[in-house]
Chain A
Amino acid sequence: MKQVVRYLPLLLLAIAWELAARFELVSTTALPPLSDVIRAWIDLLKDGDLVSNGLSSLYRAFAGLGLAILVGATLGIVMAWWKPANVLLSPLVEMFYPLPKSALIPVTVIWLGYGDGSKILLIFLGCMLPVTIGAFNGARSSEQALVWSARSMGANRLRMLWDVVVPSAMPEMLNGVRTALALSFILLVSSELIVAQKGFGYLIGSLGANGSYDAMYAVVLTVAFLGFAADRIYLVITKRTLAWRE
């Protein structure tokens, strides 16, 4: 019941949408009624268009994000742990971090063409640095007392890295991953809107070009919902992962 009251404004917006479109307060091409959008969504689902494009989009997002987490986290921890790496890499990180990642879209296309490769590369490049910075800050701030006691108990450097530094870098790194997750969806959709032959962004673009706006709205809402759901699922997982901290 509490949840219903909490999310009531969203429901009200949905009803307002439906009414505004039904009574033609706004043009129905610009805003098809919500019920039509839902019908179009079911049609898309039945066609299999939504599923096949969605799967290829999700594959790109998660392949890119997975690579970014793997490489980014390693890089961040190495930078925190080994000074020469820090001296060499941190100017580059500082230079590339503020780069608006969407600028890389045409370049990844030049390198890897119109298919999966260019999107995965884009998402990888775009999502890596938030993870790196999270891991770096986390590993740097790992408590000296913990490091000392591990050392006094006879842990060697590598063991200490794995048993002390990595776990204490975890919370901040996971925060970085959350940023990366949101970024991956943004980059995915924008690159697919601009150049692609399949995927959510492509589907949105082609439906819009055909003038089937109700279906376009259906896909847009699906993508938005997936991004939201991914974030919520991620939060649940991190809470589990970090349960030991409490």
Chain B
Amino acid sequence: MARVTQIMPADAPGGLPEKAARLVYWLFGAFTRVFSIVLLLAAWEILARSGTFTHFQLPAFSEVVERIGSDAWSGDLWINTALTLYRALTAFAICAVFGVIIGMAMSRSAIANWFFDPIISVGFPMPKIAFLPVVILWLGVYDVSKITIIVIDAIFPVIAATVIAIQGVERELIWSARNMGANNRELLTQIVLPAASPQIMTGLQVALPLSLIVAVVAEMLMGGYGLGGAMMTASRFANSTGVFAGIVEIAVVGYCLVKVMALIRRRLLIWHQESNEPTTA
């Protein structure tokens, strides 16, 4: 994805002072980035107003914005967003902590590896969302079951990434640390984890959007508050403006989460040579 985002306009025009050239360069870049999005939104508005589709099929973009505005004014938007984020991020935090711990255990102890390896290799490619009704059966329809299903779905990439990352740590690093008298704990916290962190971050970057996807599905199925729940309610009342507003809201939240994650990665891994953009951003 890193390379998708790099739209390099032609070289800055010569002759201009450097600052002006940079400004032109930046403006051009910003313009190309926004241009097609504006085009898309304009096409949406025009299509909706032209009457090619019924209002139910495609409400105008301006109406959707209005609806989001009124949701924000009444406070529903913030409650729903906060609830969805709370569920997704709590589950994500659980995945991050336990995923890394299980991954570390697997690469350190043969027994943990023996036990978890088949579970991971079978469980990773499974559509675990199918277990949603089972989780509802066990834990009901409130936050606990929503968070549980998100954890079930999003922990696998973290574990898998941690195991692969630790396997990939250079032997020389470990040997030299040992040689200099590092004990097991020091080895783990000062050598292995930092060296493995880029790939662990990649695993987390897969897990974060996944937790949002599952959070939305869980809310849609179980109802109640939350962005997914609000969308489902709107859809039940055939309120398509509400449905489209939901999509825009969820899209914005998803975009921000991914961007923040990429930013955190760049901050945390600033020492690492890779410090270019990650693949999922």
B128 and A104 contact, CB distance less than 8 A: no
From DSSP, what is the main secondary structure of chain A's interface residues? Answer: helix
Write 14 A-B pairs (CB below 8 A) sorted by A numbering: A6-B118, A8-B114, A9-B115, A87-B32, A88-B35, A95-B255, A98-B209, A99-B255, A103-B246, A105-B220, A200-B130, A201-B130, A205-B133, A230-B125
Indicate if A237 sits at the interface (CB-CB under 8 A).
no
Q: For the complex, is B119 an interface residue (Cβ under 8 Å from A)?
A: yes
**Which residue numbers of B lie inside 8 Å of A, CB to CB?**
1, 3-5, 7, 32-37, 40, 56-57, 114-119, 122, 125-134, 136-138, 209, 212-217, 220-221, 227-228, 231-232, 234-235, 240, 243-244, 246-247, 250-251, 254-255, 257-259
Stretch of A43-51, A152-160, A216-224 contacting B (4+ beta carbons < 8 Å): A216-224
With A193-B221, A220-B134 already in contact, the answer to whether A103 and B216 are too (CB < 8 A) is: yes
Binds B, one of A143-151, A161-169, A183-191, A238-246: A183-191
Is the pair B133, A107 in contact by a Cβ cutoff of 8 Å? Answer: no
- Nearest chain-A residue to B117 (Cβ)? A6
Q: Which of A204-221 contact B (CB under 8 A)?
A: 204-205, 208, 213, 216-217, 220
Nearest 4 A-B pairs (CB), nearest first?
A: A231-B125, A185-B127, A98-B258, A106-B235
* CB–CB B119/A186 < 8 A: no
Query: Is B126 within 8 A of A208, CB to CB?
Result: no
Q: Are B37 and A194 in contact (CB under 8 A)?
A: no
Residues of B within 8 A of A216 (CB): 133-134
Name, among A133, A186, A205, the residue most crowded by chain B CB atoms within 10 Å (CB to CB).
Answer: A186
Which A residues, 66 to 116, have Cβ-Cβ distances below 8 Å to chain B?
79, 86-107, 109-111
A182 at the interface (CB under 8 A from B): yes
> Does A124 belong to the interface (CB within 8 Å)?
no
Of listed A100, A106, A137, residue having the most chain B CB within 10 A:
A100
CB distance from B39 to the nearest CB of A (A): 8
User: Is the C-beta of A1 less than 8 angstroms from some C-beta in chain B?
Assistant: no
A98 and B209 alpha carbons, distance in the complex (Å): 7
